């Protein structure tokens, strides 16, 4: 089995290398075009295309060029001012993403707000909506779920107004992330399903992979690791196609987590080390911190607490640099558990209390519940039963707010079953309708052919009758003509005979007249 997985991974790396080479050629072509470009608007366009193809750290130089170029031209009057101002807002968004990935959230916030003002000034709605979505992600990282949802809602309304299908899907995707974090599994899955369909239809493989990863995370929360691994693997395969270093890192980390939960610690370490190297290459501090935490967790479960604590400390440092509050609280819990196991209670309590403070600030019930459970155990062991009871009550309250695990499992399964059955029913109806329509169309076609054949037959019969009638008429006409000719001939003969008879009579009469003496003569000679 290990040999097969190793072979699969080698083939995957080969595929990635080929993909990287092809994409590098495209990026190189854009860079070459940029060098030969003389028009500033063309340069801005090319710089935007280049930054779109690179991770935030790799694109920093090009974003700085875009920023300088757009700031220089943003005061030009007329339509060009709006064009350069739009590119300026894009540059600030890109630089804010970079600042966000390196943990400088204050700088990111300032850049996003500046981009918002620019977009509002020039009335550019597409970049305005993009900025609201990016700002929402920043608020979500800071634990401000309400502000994040407000930003996503503003972006969604703009995208709906301008009929941007992909933009709508992004807003729904980010909204689903917030619902997942606050434990609203139903809304999270519903929104993930909506946006995943759009990402797949539009060919946005990168975000489709992120969505698959997040659905896998929901399954993982329900401890359905088989399904979680399936979704994580699907996500990784998509990310290989897009050469997304950060995306592949996230998927490898998730796959490693599943192996860890399944008890395959060696396989988990193998994937985590690959994941860590990709995070380091991309400079993603949040990811590096997460990888360190997970590697430490594996060593802890292997019984090597010293090595585990080393990785946890590195994780905490990296997450503090990234300003990842949720990650900081998570790592503090892990550090506290090591100290608690080693009976270093003071250090353990310090870690737990700091974690609880951050979790309450963020307001995520699942995270508060986890820390409350750890504190309950801690106070119980140390004889502080009042504090233990207080944290236990908090644990129960948080459990009730997100439902117990079995209810949530049933909720997800029922939801997925519902979604599947709804899709199956829709497909069945669609197929039935298509069959019905096809049958109707075939019947119509058959009827049309039938009537056509009848029409053609009638036309042929009518044509035959008419042709036959024409022939008979023609024949009758010929006969009539012949008869007429015969009658005329006979009439001529009769007239000729009559003339001959009359001539004979007249001749005879003349002879007779000439032979007989006339009346006067007779009177004179006969007494």
Does the pLDDT at position 487 exceed 60? no
Measure the CA–CA gap between 434 and 450, rounded to whole angstroms: 23
- Cα 40 from Cα 47, distance rounded (Å): 10
Helix (H, G, I), strand (E, B) or coil at 343: coil
User: Number of C-alpha atoms within 13 angstroms, CB side, residue 480?
Assistant: 6
User: Minimal CA–CA distance to 86: which of 57, 55, 121?
Assistant: 121
Q: How confident is the model at residue 444 (pLDDT cuts 50, 70, 90)?
A: low
Average pLDDT along the chain: 78
The answer, yes or no, to whether residue 185 has pLDDT greater than 50, is: yes
Q: What is the mean pLDDT of residues 480-498?
A: 57
Phi-psi sector, 404: left (phi>0), alpha (psi -120 to 50), beta: beta
Looking at residue 88, its pLDDT comes to 87
Q: Write the CB contacts of 392 (distance below 8 Å, at least 6 apart in sequence).
A: 372, 376
User: Within the chain, how many helices (H) and strands (E) appear?
Assistant: 21, 0
Residue 307 clears pLDDT 90, i.e. is over it? yes
The residue among 458 and 47 whose pLDDT is bigger is 47
> Three-class SS string for 441-505?
HHHHHHHHHHHHHHHHHHHHHHHHHHHHHHHHHHHHHHHHHHHHHHHHHHHHHHHHHHHHHHHHH
What CA–CA distance (Å, rounded) separates 13 from 5? Answer: 12
Determine the pLDDT at residue 351.
Answer: 96
141 vs 455, residue with greater confidence: 141
| pLDDT given at position 515 | 38
Q: Rounded mean pLDDT of 404-419?
A: 47
Question: With 70 as the cut, is the pLDDT of residue 523 above it?
Answer: no
The pLDDT of residue 416 is 47
Is 495 or 164 the better-scoring residue by pLDDT?
164
Q: Which range, of 70-84, 187-201, 317-331, averages the lowest pLDDT? A: 70-84
pLDDT single digits (tens) 349-376: 999 999 999 999 888 888 999 999 999 9
Between CA 246 and CA 253, with CA 249 as vertex, the angle to 5 degrees is 145
172 close to 189: Cβ distance less than 8 angstroms: no
Q: In this predicted structure, which of 159-163, 367-371, 476-480 has the lowest mean pLDDT?
A: 476-480
CA distance 305 to 28: 47
Residue 449's pLDDT is 57
Structure tokens at 415: 């939801």
User: pLDDT per residue over 110-159, tens digit each?
Assistant: 999 999 999 999 899 999 999 999 999 999 988 888 999 999 999 999 99
User: Is pLDDT at 492 greater than 80 in this prediction?
Assistant: no
pLDDT of residue 455: 60
Residue 494 pLDDT greater than 50, yes or no: no
Q: What is the pLDDT of residue 82?
A: 85
Which of residues 263 and 469 earns the better pLDDT score?
263
Q: Is the pLDDT of residue 336 over 90?
A: yes
**Looking at the predicted structure, is the pLDDT value of residue 292 above 70?**
yes
For each of the domains in the chain, give its residue range(s) and CATH number, in order of start.
284-405 (1.25.40.10)
pLDDT digits (tens, 9 = 90+) for 80-90: 888 888 888 89
């Amino acid at each position: 089995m290990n040999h097969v997985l190793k072979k699969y991974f080698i083939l995957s790396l080969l595929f990635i290398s080929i993909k990287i080479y092809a994409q590098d050629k495209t990026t190189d072509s854009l860079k070459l075009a940029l060098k030969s470009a003389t028009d500033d608007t063309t340069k801005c366009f090319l710089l935007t295309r280049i930054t779109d193809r690179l991770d935030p750290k790799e694109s920093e130089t090009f974003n700085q060029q875009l920023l300088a170029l757009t700031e220089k031209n943003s005061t030009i009057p007329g339509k060009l001012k709006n064009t350069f101002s739009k590119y300026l807002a894009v540059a600030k968004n890109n630089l804010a993403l970079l600042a966000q990935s390196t943990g400088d959230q204050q700088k990111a916030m300032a850049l996003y707000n500046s981009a918002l003002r620019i977009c509002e000034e020039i009335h550019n709605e597409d970049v305005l909506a993009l900025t609201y979505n990016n700002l929402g992600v920043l608020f979500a990282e800071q634990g401000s779920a309400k502000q994040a949802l407000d930003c996503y809602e503003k972006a969604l309304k703009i995208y709906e107004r301008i009929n941007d299908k992909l933009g709508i899907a992004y807003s729904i995707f980010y909204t689903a992330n917030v619902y997942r974090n606050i434990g609203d599994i139903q809304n999270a899955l519903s929104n993930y399903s909506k946006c995943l369909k759009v990402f797949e239809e539009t060919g946005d493989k990168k975000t489709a992979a992120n969505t698959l990863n997040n659905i896998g995370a929901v399954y993982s929360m329900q401890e359905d690791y088989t399904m979680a691994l399936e979704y994580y693997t699907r996500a990784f395969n998509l990310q290989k196609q897009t050469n997304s270093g950060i995306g592949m890192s996230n998927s490898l980390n998730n796959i490693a987590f599943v192996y860890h939960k399944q008890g395959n610690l060696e396989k988990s370490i193998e994937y985590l080390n690959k994941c860590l190297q990709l995070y380091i290459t991309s400079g993603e501090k949040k990811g590096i911190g997460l990888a360190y935490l997970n590697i430490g967790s594996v060593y802890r479960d292997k019984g090597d607490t010293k090595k585990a604590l080393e990785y946890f400390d590195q994780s905490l440092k990296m997450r503090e640099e990234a300003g990842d509050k949720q990650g900081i609280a998570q790592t503090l819990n892990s550090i506290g558990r090591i100290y608690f196991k080693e009976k270093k209670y003071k250090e353990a309590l310090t870690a737990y209390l700091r974690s609880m403070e951050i979790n309450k600030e963020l307001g995520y019930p699942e995270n508060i519940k986890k820390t409350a459970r750890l504190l309950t155990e801690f106070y119980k062991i140390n004889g502080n039963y009042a504090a233990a009871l207080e944290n236990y009550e908090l644990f129960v309250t948080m459990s009730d707010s997100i439902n117990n695990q079995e209810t949530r499992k049933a909720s997800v399964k029922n939801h997925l079953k519902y979604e599947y059955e709804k899709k199956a029913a829709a497909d069945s109806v669609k197929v039935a309708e298509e069959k019905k329509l096809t049958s109707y169309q075939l019947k119509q076609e058959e009827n049309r052919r039938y009537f056509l054949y009848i029409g053609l037959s009638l036309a042929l019969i009518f044509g035959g009758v008419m042709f036959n009638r024409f022939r008979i008429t023609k024949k009758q006409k010929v006969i009539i003509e012949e008869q007429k000719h015969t009658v005329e001939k006979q009439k001529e003969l009769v007239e000729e005979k009559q003339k001959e008879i009359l001539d004979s009579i007249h001749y005879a009469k003349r002879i007779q007249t000439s032979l007989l003496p006339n009346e006067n003569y007779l009177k004179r000679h006969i007494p």
